[in-house]
Amino acid sequence: MRLKEKDRRSLDNSGISIPNLRLKTILDTLEDVEEVWYAIDLSAFSSKKTLFDYQKNALENAIKGLYYFYSKCGGNKEEFFENVYKGILPEAIPTRNKKLIDLLKEGGFVVNENKLPTYQIINRMGFWMATGSGKTLVIVKLIELLSGLMNLKLIPKKDILFLTHRDDLIGQFKGHVKEFNEGRMPSKIIQLYELKDYEDVKSGLDNPTGIPVFYYRADLFDTEEKEKRVNFRNYLNDGNWYLILDEAHKGDKDESKRQAIFNILCKNGFRFDFSATFTEEIDFITCAYNFNLAEFVKQGYGKHIYVSSENLRSFNRRDDFSQEEKQKILLKIFILLTGIIKAREKVKYRVPYHKPLLLVLVHSVNVEDSDMELLFRELANIAKGEIQDSDFQGAKDELIQELESANFQFENVRLSREFLNLLREITFEDLLEDVFNSKSPGTIEVVQIPQNRQELLFKLKSGDKPFALMKIGDITPWLREKLEGYEIVERFEEENIFAKLNEDEDINILMGSRAFYEGWDSNRPNVIAFINIGMGEDAKKFVLQSIGRGVRIEPFKNIRRRLEILNKNSQINKETYQQVKAWTTPIESLFVFGTKASNLETIFQTLAEQTEEKETLGDLFEINPEVQGKLLLVPEYKESELILRLHPEDKEIAREFLELDDRILVCMFDVHPKVLIKLKNDFDALVHADHQERKIGIPEAVLKKLLGYLSAKFYKY
């Protein structure tokens, strides 16, 4: 969808052009939401997890959006469009695709003169959340929220459908649901059904006791049934779906049919789009919440990001560059990795950071003179020590000169003098030891794992531990064609090295193609090199999402914020922070190298411009005075009694309602009798009156919140 520039762009205070996040702007200032809409606890997820503030904020905006659509606009899409989007979005969307027009008409949409009135597809909200921000947790809580609002009759009763585009992402979703369900009453659990079981569930053959949610692969929806592909007409449900799409809302021109199908499925329901990489204008304008990569980093949840001005063009097969030029850029990357590893060694006994890793992503693998092959050749030459001292020193000097004036993305960050001096002292022997796991140069030896057709390990004959892992679609051509002359040994004790890479500190380099950039989260990458990737517009999503894979930070177990934020919030001993702060920035940074640095810069500049929030960290977080000046420790947990705070009037409502017969309450709220007895006996100890809490005022909603909260098991330390 193309909009006029003046309509879709505005300027922030710095004069930077930003997209129009129209819905978010309205929801952020919406204050007249009735209190009953907040009757569901937004914090609790499982016995081990509670949601971050930014995740709760996403759910609060979801509540506001649903309230605006269903309560203020009565579920009327035309009224919703008039109130929110008129003058911002075009009145109609043109299309010349006759098959698409016929499909839309079949789905019940009105198409006038090859134009689809925009209001018909405006029952939607987008959630722009960075990779690594825990958006799957938000999705699971959104399901609980939808169920609660339906039970309170605040939104219409409809079925819930979750779609994502890969099996491993469905598996990840199932894992989060399983964790969410632990310790909950049967009526509160989420019951997952593959979409193909839809008829059995709806006909009563399988009667859900909890919250039924259907799921499927988004890319397998079609207009006909074929193997795993499903004909959407068999699951139309008269368009009455609450449709949740996880990275499944976009597509190229060939997938426009699928996007039409999604709109048909939720024609009389509502659509929720979750993504780390919004690119279409309609996604921006209907975005209800923004916590993209820029916000994720700026608020201290992710690594600092630096994009090197050094180009990896010497690895471009179409250009004629010397071996020395290829070697120099790899030396710079290896020297930087060595420095970060050494910085981590200086602090790891005070702050148990991850082991730094170099991630190399290439465009081609098996063709002649592929990107992976060119990389491997120079890697082998450096490992053998086939470099001049002057070349090593020259690479180091150029790297330090660049880093002395490095400008990080989104933030004003500088590397410490101590770290730059450490880089100056690095020798080739240091590089061999920290990157290649060897005290002397040596020939590369290939380690093959029988039955594993996707992974190869590499070690030096002069070392005793593998230093690199290659993960590609099929290693067979490499063993047959690219590694002729190399000694190949077999290793039997591990079948899948990649799956354990977060714990395996021996591996310092991970090499691969696009195959594994999604579905993998790790704290370890500190350097990412893109070889012949990111040179075209189609690479934008790939670059951002693959960087999102390595942007996570976790200085202490389960504490996922940068150390300076923990220090500002008095969550770490200040003496400890003073001892390590000179070394934290490189460990908490992601250094990015690309074939064409200017392309990467453009991608990040676009993302920086697509950031609207201007809040400071002090506005977002409250310092707990009880932990000031105390050392942050990793807690051990035991089961805890729960205490819930209610508005005083709601507490009295709950007290009066609890005078009903226990059998009535058990049937009304599906609560375990033991929970009910405990609540009645210890009501004042378990329920505290607090004027700061929202007043709900509806007896059924108050009791539903109270009993649901006390039915879950939580832990304290």
**333-387 pLDDT, tens per residue?**
999 999 999 999 999 999 999 999 999 988 888 888 788 888 898 999 999 998 8
Residues 491 and 371 both lie in one domain: yes
Total domains, the chain = 3
Evaluate whether 306 touches 592 at the Cβ level (below 8 Å): yes
Residues 486 and 398 both lie in one domain: yes
Distance spanning both ends of the chain, measured CA to CA: 52
| Percent over 70 (pLDDT), the chain | 83
Torsion over CA of 352, 356, 361 and 366, rounded to 10 degrees? -110
Query: Three-state SS for 127?
Result: strand
Cα–Cα distance, 270 to 124 (Å, whole number): 6
Confidence of residue 3 (pLDDT cuts 50, 70, 90): very low
How, if at all, do strands 488-490 and 525-531 pair? unpaired
Pick the residue with more confidence: 630 or 644? 644
CA distances 497 to 78, 232, 251, 476, Å, are 54, 39, 32, 17
Q: What number of other Cβ atoms are within 10 A of residue 492's Cβ?
A: 8
Residue 208 within a domain: yes
Residue 534 has pLDDT above 70, yes or no: no
The whole-model pTM stands at 0.73
The residue ranges of DSSP E strands in 134-286, in sequence order, are 159-164, 190-194, 211-217, 221-222, 230-231, 241-246, 270-275
Residue ending a domain, choose from 592, 627, 662:
627
Residues 115 and 184 both lie in one domain: yes
**466-480 pLDDT, tens per residue?**
999 999 888 888 888
Evaluate whether 17 touches 609 at the Cβ level (below 8 Å): yes
Q: What number of other Cβ atoms are within 10 A of residue 445's Cβ?
A: 17
Query: Three-state SS for 480?
Result: helix
Bridge partner list, 525: 357
Q: Looking at residue 491, what is its pLDDT?
A: 82
Residue ending a domain, choose from 239, 259, 291:
291
Residue 2 within a domain: no
Residues 401 and 530 both lie in one domain: yes
**227-274 pLDDT, tens per residue?**
889 999 999 999 999 999 998 755 544 458 888 999 999 999 999 999
How, if at all, do strands 468-471 and 455-460 pair? antiparallel
Residue ending a domain, choose from 575, 603, 627:
627
Residue 10 has pLDDT above 80, yes or no: no
DSSP letter at 485? T
User: Which distant-in-sequence residues (6+ apart) come within 8 Å of 619 by Cβ?
Assistant: none
Query: Three-state SS for 401?
Result: helix
Residue 11 within a domain: no
Query: Three-state SS for 440?
Result: coil
Residues 245 and 342 both lie in one domain: no
Bridge partner list, 89: 86
Average pLDDT over residues 536-544: 64
Cα–Cα distance, 431 to 339 (Å, whole number): 9
Out of 335-339, 411-415, 500-504, 673-677, least confident range: 673-677
The residue ranges of DSSP E strands in 369-499, in sequence order, are 444-448, 455-460, 468-471, 488-490
Out of 126-140, 298-312, 407-421, 441-455, least confident range: 298-312
Residues 651 and 608 both lie in one domain: no
Q: Looking at residue 543, what is its pLDDT?
A: 75
Confidence of residue 205 (pLDDT cuts 50, 70, 90): low
Evaluate whether 122 touches 77 at the Cβ level (below 8 Å): yes
Pick the residue with more confidence: 573 or 667? 573
Which residue, chain included where needed, has tokens 């499927």?
A: 216
Cα–Cα distance, 350 to 556 (Å, whole number): 10
Cα–Cα distance, 547 to 544 (Å, whole number): 5
Bridge partner list, 544: none
Pick the residue with more confidence: 57 or 226? 57
By the 10 Å C-beta count (0-12 exposed, 13-18 middle, 19+ buried), 626 is classed as exposed
Cα–Cα distance, 328 to 493 (Å, whole number): 36
By the 10 Å C-beta count (0-12 exposed, 13-18 middle, 19+ buried), 141 is classed as buried
Residue 10 within a domain: no
Token pair of 139 as six digits: 């999705």
Average pLDDT over residues 279-285: 87
Cα–Cα distance, 612 to 618 (Å, whole number): 17
Q: Looking at residue 514, what is its pLDDT?
A: 67
Whichever domain contains 109, its CATH number is 3.40.50
Cα–Cα distance, 45 to 178 (Å, whole number): 11
Average pLDDT over residues 658-685: 75
Out of 45-59, 84-98, 210-224, 358-372, least confident range: 358-372
Q: By C-alpha distance, which of 491, 529, 493, 486 is closest to 510? A: 529
Residues 552 and 659 both lie in one domain: no
Q: Which of 46-50, 157-161, 168-172, 527-531 is most confident?
A: 157-161
Residue 451 within a domain: yes
Q: Looking at residue 705, what is its pLDDT?
A: 73
Residue 279 has pLDDT above 90, yes or no: no
- DSSP per-residue codes, 20-67: --HHHHHHHT-----GGGG-S-SSB-SSS-B--HHHHHHHHHHHHHHI
Cα–Cα distance, 397 to 629 (Å, whole number): 41
Residue 511 has pLDDT above 50, yes or no: yes
Token pair of 563 as six digits: 């150390």
DSSP letter at 534? S
Out of 170-184, 185-199, 409-423, 583-597, least confident range: 583-597
Average pLDDT over residues 656-681: 75
Evaluate whether 274 touches 58 at the Cβ level (below 8 Å): no
Cα–Cα distance, 315 to 338 (Å, whole number): 22
**676-700 pLDDT, tens per residue?**
777 777 778 778 888 777 777 777 7
Token pair of 542 as six digits: 């790939």
Residue 200 has pLDDT above 80, yes or no: yes
Residue 604 within a domain: yes
Pick the residue with more confidence: 244 or 295? 244
Residue 168 within a domain: yes
Cα–Cα distance, 666 to 674 (Å, whole number): 10
Pick the residue with more confidence: 663 or 287? 287
The alpha carbon of 156 is separated from its chain's Cα centroid by a whole number of angstroms, namely 30
- Domain span holding position 485: 305-627
Residue 151 within a domain: yes
Pick the residue with more confidence: 609 or 421? 421
Residues 576 and 465 both lie in one domain: yes
Evaluate whether 33 touches 64 at the Cβ level (below 8 Å): yes
User: Which distant-in-sequence residues (6+ apart) come within 8 Å of 593 by Cβ?
Assistant: 308, 310, 312, 329, 333, 527, 528, 529, 530
Token pair of 163 as six digits: 């779609």
**69-104 pLDDT, tens per residue?**
999 999 999 999 999 999 999 999 998 889 999 999
| Percent over 90 (pLDDT), the chain | 47
Average pLDDT over residues 592-612: 58
Pick the residue with more confidence: 385 or 494? 385
Residues 689 and 546 both lie in one domain: no
Q: By C-alpha distance, which of 644, 658, 663 is closest to 710? A: 644
Residues 509 and 652 both lie in one domain: no
Residues 616 and 649 both lie in one domain: no
- Calculate the average pLDDT of the chain: 83
CA distances 139 to 166, 173, 256, 290, 339, Å, are 16, 9, 24, 15, 39
Pure H helices in 152-218: 167-181, 198-203
Out of 248-252, 328-332, 484-488, 583-587, least confident range: 248-252
Bridge partner list, 360: 511, 529
By the 10 Å C-beta count (0-12 exposed, 13-18 middle, 19+ buried), 568 is classed as middle
Average pLDDT over residues 30-34: 89
User: Which distant-in-sequence residues (6+ apart) come within 8 Å of 602 by Cβ?
Assistant: none
Confidence of residue 395 (pLDDT cuts 50, 70, 90): very high
Query: What's the full length of the chain, in residues?
Result: 717
Token pair of 49 as six digits: 């997890």
Residues 612 and 656 both lie in one domain: no
Bridge partner list, 455: 471
Cα–Cα distance, 408 to 412 (Å, whole number): 6
Residue 716 has pLDDT above 50, yes or no: no
- The one-letter amino acid code at 546 reads S
Cα–Cα distance, 377 to 381 (Å, whole number): 6
Confidence of residue 515 (pLDDT cuts 50, 70, 90): low
Which residue, chain included where needed, has tokens 């996570």?
A: 552
